[in-house]
Chains A and B, each alone.
Chain A
Amino acid sequence: MRRIFQIDGTETECWLSHDGSRFLLNTPDGEIPCRLDPAGVPGGYVLRARGRVQDVRLAVGPDATFVHMNGRTYAVGRVDPAERLAGRDSGTADDRIVAPMPGVVVSVKAKPGDHVKEGQLLLVIESMKLETSLIAPRDGVVAEMPFATGDSFGLKATLALLAPQEE
């Protein structure tokens, strides 16, 4: 059974198996025998892996597993490779300017059909009382500007879309 794990923006595809006595996590760097046993506190476990015995606290969210270990907190994104294949959309990452957090549009500086240069200001947003300027990631033509000044938007909303690049 495969999973793609995302840690600090890096994706790693793994395969979990069981050899009858223990779990094995197969990573691109090799096979890790591992085991996780509950400890007496909420979300508390003991991880045994890579020769280490490690107390952890964990919570499993819908898309990510949150882990507290050695005084630090980590988020591990989980993707089922099968679901990703089914749901993939056509636009590539640099065509789309996605809201880094929910907020409000302060001003719109481009409209569909405009030719824009890399670095050109497309729109200004405000999130959590901070003003952020969003710029064109490359030269191109604006395809969509879905929001007007004063509109609110949610996390990961598409704020601007460039027409696909002609090769």
Chain B
Amino acid sequence: MNQESLNRKARGLFVLFAAGLFAFGLGGALLLSPSAQALGGGDGGEGDYGKTLKEVTDKGYVQCGVSQGLPGFSNPDDAGNWSGIDVELCRAVATAIFNDPDKVQYSPLSAKVRFESLRSGEIDLLVRNTTWTFDRDVALGLEFVGVNYYDGQGFMVRKNLGVNSSQELNNVSVCTNTGTTTELNAADFFRANKLKYKIVAFEKSDEVVAAYDAGRCDVYTTDRSGLAAQRTKLSNPREHKVLPEIISKEPLGPVVRQGDEQWADLVRWVLNATIIAEELGLTSANIASHKNSDNPKIRRFVGSEGEFATALGLEDNAWAYNIIAKVGNYGEIYDRTVGPKTPLGLSRGDNALWTDGGILYAPPLR
């Protein structure tokens, strides 16, 4: 290849690039101009009603924001499939819409970007062990639609320190995660009890575990579900214990964008359906045999009586039936993700039905 033809090629390349740049600029300017905003219909308010469900049905899957790897809540397994109690809720929503729990795509999100991802429309639903707080619900343009796990912040310490109550924790150094409510809760707790502490806040849980395991901190604080999960990773889990007190309320729940009440209702009632099913004793194994039940509550639930789909924008009146048949009721989901037989080994506690001493209580389906 001689120099001349190389030069010609280089020039051709450059002209091509310049043309591309020009087109890019023109297209970008058009796309970015405020008039495009009006076309996009992002004018909020009533215009958003039903928008999310329509988009979801059009693209054929639910885009679900989950954590980047929190055991029991959302975590990729060896085969790359996501599992966990948050993931199951995403699957339940997909089942209600498409009658297929696998029509979900997961967006692993860091704690920092999760709300922006939801607000910008990148995801349809955020189920990322997110605590329902006033500020987030009211001031951030978000809508919390329920609670899928009642958690509370706790403390883990070495057994050989001989601590029995969190009130004894004076002059301690505390390891925790940054960018979440955990850090502030800990600060509030120690200040309220006039205890001295030093907080060491890490970006990722794995580093918190490593530091705590190496003795950097006397105390590890995070949600108790998290403590249960991280404890399995310590070099000697039996030498550590979780203190009985809970220092904060952490109702973790699914979040949607403010403005689309239909979508909020849909997610809320998918969650409620899993709880109601447990109340009614419906499981994935037995629900098929209840299809022709005489109990009006069950008849309404499986969709043989009443009209519960169209108001939510759904087509299949048996959407709740599908959820239980394909994903399971709340108890089943709990047991296979965080329950006593999993590595986390968490008993139901507050997350038991209200009839069993817990606080799970769903409004009636009628």
A joins B in a complex:
no
Enumerate chain B interface residues (CB-CB to A < 8 A).
Answer: none
What residues of chain A have their CB less than 8 Å away from a CB belonging to chain B?
none
